[in-house]
């Protein structure tokens, strides 16, 4: 009887071992990640929506939720409060302010190698170069702009406060005054003016020395310290999403963006993406060799020095080592995919 029981137990043990060895691997839940955006869904968020739409985040073991920003939604305090994990921020000035005010956040990627901030003039107004704009009698600048890039323009580029007029985020005054110049987001106001029948010339501040990054990705220092693998996977997947959005089939991202923000249409999204490429906002500079999202800490320091010179900060206000880290970028992630997608695009164009 003992031999029979022993045989039965042995058989059961072998069966269990075989099930463990050959059976399905136990499923583990994907890491939940919440990304907050700086405004309503638009092409400037396209790579993130692309990674969500085509399953790239899922492939990297992430369950990502994208929460829109907007006029009534400020996601910035949600990051430091731990309510979201990542934030699409603006330019480095916001990050400088965080460090100055001891907010424990850090930039971990820079999607825009060039800030889209620009000045816009009428095509026939005689402003052929950026320096010509110093002759304009009226330059429309928002309150935020007056206390940021305008200070740099006065200190470093020779513009005068006498030229300054308030900009209320309507292009009506610009359209009514052929000699007026106004601030513009290179992927927005020039397109609005064109739709209104006005031909314009756009001068990107980044091409004149305004060397901040923009559309940065911020997270908290505790995420960097305690969940570096989650941060790495999120950044890598987002980079892949951006290459697919810029050069591949981005219809899935378009569908999600249009669903979130009905003001967006395929035509509007196409126009914005064309501007990204034309102006080299995302895939340029260090991104060409290090991958989208590249960060040069020396460049961060250089921009801060310019802001100190312009009077926005004092030299000791900000510990630059706390502003940004290149720990999760500059690895060449996605460059092979870029080569493949761009090659396919060229081949397709030649075939037609």
| Mean pLDDT computed over every residue of the chain | 91
pLDDT of residue 344: 84
Same domain, 180 and 258: no
DSSP letter, residue 163: G
Range of the domain at 158: 117-208
Give the whole-number percent of the chain exceeding pLDDT 90.
88
Pick the last residue of a domain from 208, 234, 258: 208
Q: Quickly count: other Cβ atoms within 10 Å of residue 192's Cβ.
A: 17
On whether the CB atoms of residues 87 and 35 are closer than 8 A, the answer is yes
Same domain, 183 and 324: no
Question: Total structural domains in the chain?
Answer: 2
Same domain, 163 and 219: no
Same domain, 104 and 222: yes
CA distances (Å), 237 to each of 120, 203, 222, 223, 347, in order? 35, 33, 21, 17, 26
Q: Which tokens hold the place of 113? A: 């190698």
Tens of pLDDT, residue by residue, the chain (352 residues): 434 334 433 344 434 444 334 444 445 689 999 999 999 999 999 999 999 999 999 999 999 999 999 888 899 999 999 999 999 999 999 999 999 999 999 999 999 999 999 999 999 999 999 999 999 999 999 999 999 999 999 999 999 999 999 999 999 999 999 999 999 999 999 999 999 999 999 999 999 999 999 999 999 999 999 999 999 999 999 999 999 999 999 999 999 999 999 999 999 999 999 999 999 999 999 999 999 999 999 999 999 999 999 999 999 999 999 999 999 999 999 999 999 999 887 666 556 5
Residue 9 lies in a domain: no
Same domain, 64 and 41: yes
Same domain, 259 and 342: yes
Residue 2 lies in a domain: no
Instruction: Write down the residue that tokens 């926005």 correspond to.
Output: 312
Same domain, 145 and 132: yes
Helix locations, 126-227, DSSP H = 143-146, 149-157, 172-176, 189-195, 221-226
pLDDT of residue 349: 57
Same domain, 60 and 100: yes
Distance CA 74, CA 251 (A): 28
Full-model pTM: 0.89
pLDDT of residue 6: 42
Pick the last residue of a domain from 175, 208, 241: 208
pLDDT of residue 352: 53
Residue 23 lies in a domain: no
Distance CA 18, CA 6 (A): 18
CB proximity list for 303: less than 8 A, separation 6 or greater? 92, 211, 212
Residue 12 lies in a domain: no
- Mapping DSSP onto H, E and C, the string for 204-242 reads EHHHHCCCCCEEEEEEEHHHHHHCHHHHHHHHHHHHHHH
On whether the CB atoms of residues 216 and 110 are closer than 8 A, the answer is yes
Nearest to 35 by CA among 230, 248, 187: 230
Q: Give the end-to-end CA distance of the chain in Å, rounded to a whole number.
A: 82
CB proximity list for 261: less than 8 A, separation 6 or greater? 40, 41, 42, 68
Residue 221 lies in a domain: yes
Same domain, 75 and 51: yes
Strand partners, 36: 67, 87
Pick the last residue of a domain from 208, 241, 259: 208
Distance CA 76, CA 62 (A): 22
- Roughly what angle, to the nearest 10 degrees, separates helices 297-309 and 149-157? 80
pLDDT of residue 28: 64
Dihedral pair phi/psi, residue 146, rounded to 5°: -65, -25
pLDDT of residue 277: 94
Nearest to 306 by CA among 227, 211, 174: 211
Same domain, 72 and 151: no
Same domain, 180 and 227: no
Nearest to 278 by CA among 171, 157, 191: 191
Strand partners, 324: 107
| Positive or negative: CA dihedral 38, 43, 47, 53 | positive
Same domain, 269 and 139: no
Here the CATH number for the domain that contains residue 102 is: 3.40.190.10
Nearest to 117 by CA among 45, 209, 39, 26: 209
């Amino acid at each position: 009887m003992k031999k029979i029981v022993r045989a039965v137990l042995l058989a059961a043990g072998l069966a269990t071992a075989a099930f463990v060895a050959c059976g399905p691997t136990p499923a583990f839940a994907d890491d939940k990640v919440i990304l907050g955006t700086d405004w309503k869904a638009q092409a400037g968020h396209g790579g993130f929506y692309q990674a969500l739409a085509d399953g790239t985040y899922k492939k990297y073991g992430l369950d990502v939720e994208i929460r829109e920003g907007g006029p009534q939604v400020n996601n910035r305090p949600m990051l430091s409060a731990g309510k979201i994990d990542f934030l699409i921020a603006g330019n480095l000035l916001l990050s400088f302010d965080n460090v100055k005010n001891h907010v424990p956040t850090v930039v971990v990627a820079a999607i825009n190698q060039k800030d889209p901030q620009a000045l816009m003039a009428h095509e026939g107004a005689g402003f052929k170069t950026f320096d010509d704009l110093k002759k304009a009698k009226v330059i429309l600048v928002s309150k935020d702009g007056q206390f940021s890039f305008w200070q740099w323009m006065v200190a470093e580029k020779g513009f005068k406060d006498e030229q300054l007029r308030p900009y209320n985020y309507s292009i009506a005054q610009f359209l009514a005054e052929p000699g007026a110049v106004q601030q513009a987001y290179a992927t927005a106001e020039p397109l609005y003016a064109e739709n209104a029948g006005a031909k314009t010339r756009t001068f990107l501040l980044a091409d004149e020395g305004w060397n901040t990054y923009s559309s940065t990705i911020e997270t908290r220092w505790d995420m960097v310290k305690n969940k570096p693998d989650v941060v790495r996977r999120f950044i890598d997947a987002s980079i892949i999403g951006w290459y697919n959005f810029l050069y591949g089939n981005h219809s899935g991202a378009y569908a999600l963006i249009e669903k979130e923000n009905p003001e967006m249409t395929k035509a509007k999204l196409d126009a914005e993406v064309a501007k990204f490429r034309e102006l080299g906002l995302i895939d340029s500079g260090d991104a060409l060799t290090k991958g989208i999202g590249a960060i040069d800490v020396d460049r961060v320091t250089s921009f801060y020095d310019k802001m100190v010179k312009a009077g926005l900060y004092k030299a000791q206000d900000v510990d630059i080592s706390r502003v940004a880290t290149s720990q999760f970028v500059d690895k060449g992630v996605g460059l092979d995919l870029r080569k493949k997608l761009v090659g396919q695009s060229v081949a397709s164009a030649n075939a037609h």
